[in-house]
């Protein structure tokens, strides 16, 4: 997703006649397309920081974010720079790194993203923003219509964007749990998937319809050799974060607890099969609990080809 956002950002900078995007990636080969668009491949995070006023971060989890922020802080003078984090992390992580950045007279903006890598390619992601409001205004020309379809500004406290993203991911996981159970009922009742999928799209909207297709069209279990849209490990992280946030607030997310159990069992199945699975792979466990195979008919036919 970070690569897709960076490519769209570089296209925008080129169209506006601005300086090219400076970038760094752990895996250098992943930046080849970005270089082809005119982006400048830097040898280190420090090189990006020293040549930029606004620094975007897109990484996998809390530990990776903390490591990258520490490298940014060690790069030298970051006075008045704006650091924008698009990663989904625990609110306490956003709060912690924001404090570190502010001690260096820079600004930290939490900007987690709703959407998938294909949506990022098409500029259809939604970005949630929190932090210094004047800095968020400075970012506006680089967000809506450039890398995202829309933005939501939540608060001047960076951790609130992280919390909203965690809540949103809980809702998506809850939808996936319920829709997966409904599809299993449809299959066990010999009704089939098509009518249910039509109902989800026509009556309940775009998101339930998209989730349904992730299940019926086999995205929950990608073909061997292909990476999932959203790795199962990220689903485990996000649902775990949502349960922890609820506990801290003095409440429970019982649907999340059910989803987390199914995700953990799906992770065990993934390790057993030696095959990466999507964060929607709870569907396979729901199927197994109902006496069905982990793979639905679509996956079986696809993998047999």
> What are 180's two structure tokens?
């997966």
Q: How far is CA 120 from CA 75, 171, 179, in A?
A: 29, 20, 24
Cα–Cα dist 193/187, whole Å: 7
Give me the catalytic one of 165, 188, 300, 301: 165
Q: How far is CA 269 from CA 57, 278, 281, 304, in A?
A: 32, 12, 10, 20
Angle, helices 158-188/91-103, rounded to nearest 10 degrees? 160
Q: What is the residue whose two structure tokens read 């829309």?
A: 150
Overall residue count recorded for the chain in this entry: 305
Please indicate whether residue 301 is annotated as part of the active site: no
> What are 263's two structure tokens?
């995700």
CB 4 within 8 A of CB 121: yes
The sign one gets for the Cα dihedral 4, 49, 160, 130 is negative
Residues acting as catalytic residues: 165
């Amino acid at each position: 997703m970070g690569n897709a956002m960076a490519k769209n950002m570089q296209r925008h900078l080129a169209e506006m006649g601005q300086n090219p995007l400076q970038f760094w990636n752990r895996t250098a080969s992943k930046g080849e397309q970005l270089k082809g668009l005119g982006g400048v491949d830097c040898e280190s995070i420090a090189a990006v920081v020293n040549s930029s006023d606004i620094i975007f971060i897109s990484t996998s989890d809390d530990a990776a974010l903390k490591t990258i922020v520490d490298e940014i802080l060690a790069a030298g003078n970051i006075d008045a720079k704006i650091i924008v984090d698009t990663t989904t992390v625990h609110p306490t992580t956003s709060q912690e790194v924001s404090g570190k950045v502010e001690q260096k007279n820079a600004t930290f903006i939490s900007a987690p993203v709703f959407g998938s890598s294909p949506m990022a390619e098409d500029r259809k992601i939604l970005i949630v923003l929190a932090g210094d409001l004047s800095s968020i205004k400075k970012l506006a020309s680089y967000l809506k219509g450039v890398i995202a379809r829309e933005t939501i500004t939540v608060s001047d406290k960076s951790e609130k964007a992280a919390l909203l993203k965690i809540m949103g991911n809980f809702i998506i996981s809850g939808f996936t749990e319920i829709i997966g159970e409904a599809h299993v009922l449809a299959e066990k009742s010999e009704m089939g998937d098509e009518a249910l999928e039509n109902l989800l799209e026509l009556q309940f909207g775009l998101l339930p319809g998209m989730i349904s297709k992730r299940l019926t069209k086999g995205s929950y279990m990608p073909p061997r050799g292909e990476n999932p849209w959203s790795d199962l490990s990220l689903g485990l992280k996000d649902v775990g974060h949502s349960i922890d946030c609820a506990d801290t607030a003095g409440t429970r997310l019982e649907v999340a607890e059910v989803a987390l159990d199914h995700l953990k069992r799906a992770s065990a199945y993934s390790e057993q099969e030696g095959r990466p699975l999507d964060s929607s792979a709870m569907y396979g466990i729901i199927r197994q609990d109902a006496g069905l195979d982990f793979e639905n008919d679509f996956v079986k036919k696809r993998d047999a080809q």
